[in-house]
Amino acid sequence: MDGIDPQTQTELEAAVFRRLVAHLRDRPDAQNIDLMNLAGFCRNCLSNWLKDAADARGLALGKEASREHVYGMPFADWKRLHQKEATPEQQAAFAKGQAESPGGH
User: pLDDT tens-digit profile of 32-60?
Assistant: 999 999 999 999 999 999 999 999 999 99
Specify the pLDDT at position 99. 87
Predicted local confidence at residue 1, as pLDDT: 83
**pLDDT value, residue 21:** 97
- 71 in helix, strand or coil? helix
For residue 41, the enclosing domain spans 9-97
* Full-model pTM: 0.87
Question: Does some domain include residue 104?
Answer: no
The total number of structural domains that make up the chain: 1
How far apart CA 1 and CA 83 sit, in angstroms, is: 37
CATH number at residue 52: 1.10.3340.10
Tell me whether residue 103 is in a domain.
no
